[in-house]
Amino acid sequence: MTREDLLSAALKLPLDERAALADRLLRSLDELPEPERKKLWLEVADRRLQEIRVGKVREIPADEVFARGRAITSR
């Protein structure tokens, strides 16, 4: 199974299961030694920056992110 296959399968999960999976994956990074953890986070940041630069993703203003968060929590 490729990373893209895994991602595709994960994105088909219900929201709560995707959130639990994301939480577990993020917590697994905390188990790594500090230098490795920093290296991985820098790679993620660089990949995300490149995605923004080529137009693959768009930035979302902080006030919009917070508004969405408030809307979700007030349901």
Q: Is the pLDDT of residue 52 over 90?
A: yes
Q: What is the mean pLDDT of residues 44-57?
A: 95
pTM of the model: 0.49
Residue 37 has a CB neighbour count (10 Å cut-off) of: 13
> Given phi > 0 = left and psi -120 to 50 = alpha, else beta, which region is 55?
left
Q: What is the mean pLDDT of residues 14-39?
A: 90
> So what's the pLDDT on residue 56?
95
- Sorted by where each begins, the domain ranges of the chain are 1-31, 33-75
